[in-house]
Structure 1
Amino acid sequence: MTSSEAFGIYVHWPFCKAKCPYCDFNSHVRHQPVDAMSFAEALAAELRWMRQRTPGRTVTSIFFGGGTPSLMPPQAVGHVLDAIGGLWPVSPEVETTLEANPTSIEAGNFRGYRAAGINRVSVGVQALNDHDLKALGRQHTAEEALAAFRMAAKVFPRVSFDMIYARPNQTVAAWREELARALAEQQGHMSLYQLTIEPGTAYFDLHAKGALAVPPEDRAVDLFDVTQELTAAAGLNAYEISNHAVSGQESRHNLLYWRYGEYAGVGPGAHSRLADGETRLALVAEKHPETWRAQVLEQGSGVTEETRVSPCEQSAEYLLMGLRISEGIDLDRFESLAGRPMDSSKLAGLKSMGLVKRNGNRLSATADGRRLLNAIIGELAV
């Protein structure tokens, strides 16, 4: 399946029990119960609006992200999935993923999600020691996380074990031991993200004050190298810079993003990239949940921004996303988007330094290049 044939739907559930100090996603804490079904109805209404913009598509992947989608009642998830099935043709091989936090309450919903149609769960374990889990603002212990993951592995055909490394004061030896423990539990897919300090987060403020000690750059590189070493030894291919899987277990929805495919996003703060003839539209929805819901009820959609992506911007986005994955990018597609071939002298320079490689008409980053990906993209995008 080529990226042009793939069409994904992203569903954003914005609510969390607590705001994690490292998180810069559109997430909100409500101290009163959320009327989940009213938000599910609004999601269905926005899906109907999106259907008018996307005729002729077949849904190949669905992803519930957040926020914390595992706070959704199973009937709300089912309502959204039923709406999608009634609006578009859905591939028989559709991947339907839900991000889940591993508290015991949320894990109690797993069988209901499976009955509703979820066939893949991404479990946010994040760490396997309680001290770091508390520092990360997580609402579960390491043992609760492992119990939830094991339950998910029994309920769903596919599961991902998700962790964060390069945490404050983390050593290479500690991460090696922790990752080895996680690898003994994983079921074919792991998302292993290096902690980044993002503006607007509590960690950013602490770091700016000198009150948060993140690993220095050389140790962060060592942590990355250990991650690659141990996952490869366990038979998990690094198909994306932070994602590792046995063949066939790769996240199809995320591959759609990285291959610069087409997707419709619904929910507060959701983004979309929709084809419009030879061009592409970027849509962004209102971030505040209750304001978004009111706008959907009034107008059919919570979209507040709609812009046409220029050819130059499309080629830059394709480069930014595509060089993250091991398969890399198609140079013909880059040239078609950019309206120009990639600079051959820059390519030659990067290749001579061992940072990129070419296989026919595909360009990808080498193992060394993945450590310097931002610099490579910056060089080739201009």
Structure 2
Amino acid sequence: MSEDWRHGGFGLYLHWPFCAAKCPYCDFNSHVSATVDQARWQRAYLAEIDRIGAETSDRILNTVFFGGGTPSLMDPELVQAILDRVRRTWRLSNDLEITLEANPTSIEAGRFRGYAEAGVNRISMGMQALNDADLRRLGRMHSVAEGRRAFDIARNQFDRVSFDLIYARQDQDLSAWEAELREAAAMAVDHFSLYQLTIEEGTAFGARAAAGKLRGLPDDDLSADMYLKTQDICDSLGLSAYEVSNHARAGAECRHNLVYWRYGDYAGIGPGAHGRLTLNGTRMATDTPKAPALWLQMAERGNAELPREALPLEEQAVEFLLFGLRLSEGIDPDRYCALRGQPLPSGKIADLQELGLITQSNGRLAATREGRAVLNGVIRELMP
């Protein structure tokens, strides 16, 4: 199993932890800072690339993803320096995908030209809503008009532009979401990430909900109807769900995220960045401290990782199941068996098939559309 990761490929994730403001629903590792010494951060990123590259330099790199935080707050010169070092460190696939996440408030033409010249070829934009009142509720700093202008700037500079929308928002009904989704699709987007609003502990929304002050959220039935309506609309527009929350035209899927979902290897660099690296025949889980100052200090001392953890094959099999069944293509049961040392439970598979929640064809097992709507339950049934 030492080469299992090759089924998914190899990617690099770089986390930029800074934002202009903290959104009330966000539980990502993001921080607001008045000043950022980007030259100092550049030295730290390059040192970490060198360190991990020394262990993996024989690999072909398939994808690079700048996530955050708000990576579009990075100076283009910083992105250029990172990608120059990446090119010197790994062999690159012929169709290398380099994605950078952006918020509409930090998009301007000159900055985006700099990213494109550095090698970025895909933008993922945090639009979140096409309704000014809801944007304000979500703590977003841009208006719908600003979001549309930002999208036009990105579209003029990059062939591949995705954007995120959040639904099941406060006081949102099914017809309003349908109208908004159709409006978004009319903007010639080839990839959507469409997420139901979830209330997470440790966020401002979480605190408001606990105090009974977050009103107007849809009930479970309406949320389920919104999910199913999303599938219907996107299917009709040729933007099929290749993953539970991600829709794309054929060929426009996010290849970096496919590395995760197909259970490949990926290096994680930056505060709070996770990774999976197969080294000397053992798949290791890597992690980093979330606090930006601590990560920076550790990188400057030569290693910004926390102690690595070897993943038992049983745990790898569970992760493979959790990630792979999110995809419409599903999983190869033989690969699960090789990781786990035993096959998936045939009785459970038969029960789930009878309920119309999973399907088997061409040597693959996949959740149906109805199964993906209750995917956590499906996975619980299949887990040992």
- Scaled to the shorter chain, the TM-score interval is over 0.9
The two structures have a TM-score, normalised by structure 1, of: 0.97
Tell me, yes or no, if the aligned pair for 1:241 and 1:370 is still in contact at 8 Å: yes
d(CA) in 2 for partners of 1:343, 1:218:
31
Tell me, yes or no, if the aligned pair for 1:100 and 1:106 is still in contact at 8 Å: no
Displaced runs of 4+ in structure 1, greater than 4 A? 104-108
| Structure 1 match to 2:237 | 234
| Structure 1 match to 2:303 | 301
| Structure 1 match to 2:16 | 13
d(CA) in 1 for partners of 2:144, 2:163:
13
User: How far does the alpha carbon of each residue in 1:55-75 deviate from its partner, in whole angstroms, 9 at most, with x for none?
Assistant: 411111000000000000100
Q: How far apart are residue 43 of structure 1 and its match?
A: 0.7
d(CA) in 1 for partners of 2:108, 2:136:
18
Tell me, yes or no, if the aligned pair for 2:107 and 2:150 is still in contact at 8 Å: no
**Shift in CA distance, 5/177, structure 1 to aligned 2, threshold 3 Å:** closer
Tell me, yes or no, if the aligned pair for 1:153 and 1:187 is still in contact at 8 Å: no
Q: How far apart are residue 53 of structure 1 and its match?
A: 2.2
Q: How many residues end up aligned between the 2 structures?
A: 379
Instruction: In structure 1, list runs of 5 or more residues that go unmatched.
Output: none
d(CA) in 2 for partners of 1:113, 1:356:
42
d(CA) in 1 for partners of 2:106, 2:349:
51
| Structure 1 match to 2:48 | 46
Amino acid at match of 2:163: F
**Shift in CA distance, 179/108, structure 1 to aligned 2, threshold 3 Å:** farther
d(CA) in 2 for partners of 1:186, 1:163:
15
Amino acid at match of 2:43: E
What pairs with 1:261-276 in structure 2 (closer than 5 Å)?
Answer: 261-276=264-279
Tell me, yes or no, if the aligned pair for 1:331 and 1:361 is still in contact at 8 Å: yes
Q: How far apart are residue 168 of structure 1 and its match?
A: 1.6
Q: How far apart are residue 296 of structure 1 and its match?
A: 0.7
SS of equivalent to 2:101: strand
| Structure 2 match to 1:286 | 289
Q: How far apart are residue 106 of structure 1 and its match?
A: 5.1
**1:220 maps to which of 194, 216, 223:** 223
d(CA) in 1 for partners of 2:229, 2:188:
17
Tell me, yes or no, if the aligned pair for 1:281 and 1:308 is still in contact at 8 Å: yes
* RMSD after superposition: 1.3
The two structures have a TM-score, normalised by structure 2, of: 0.96
* Higher RCO (CA 8 Å, separation ≥ 6 residues): 2
**Is 1:28 aligned to residue 42 of structure 2?**
no
d(CA) in 2 for partners of 1:296, 1:144:
37
**1:195 maps to which of 181, 194, 197:** 197
Tell me, yes or no, if the aligned pair for 1:71 and 1:106 is still in contact at 8 Å: no
User: What percent identity do the matched residue pairs reach?
Assistant: 50
Tell me, yes or no, if the aligned pair for 1:282 and 1:306 is still in contact at 8 Å: yes
**Is 1:257 aligned to residue 260 of structure 2?**
yes
**Shift in CA distance, 346/5, structure 1 to aligned 2, threshold 3 Å:** closer
User: How far does the alpha carbon of each residue in 1:113-139 deviate from its partner, in whole angstroms, 9 at most, with x for none?
Assistant: 101110000011100011111111111
Instruction: In structure 2, list runs of 5 or more residues that go unmatched.
Output: none
| Structure 1 match to 2:328 | 326
Tell me, yes or no, if the aligned pair for 2:44 and 2:299 is still in contact at 8 Å: yes
Tell me, yes or no, if the aligned pair for 1:121 and 1:160 is still in contact at 8 Å: yes
Q: How far apart are residue 312 of structure 1 and its match?
A: 1.1
SS of equivalent to 1:231: helix
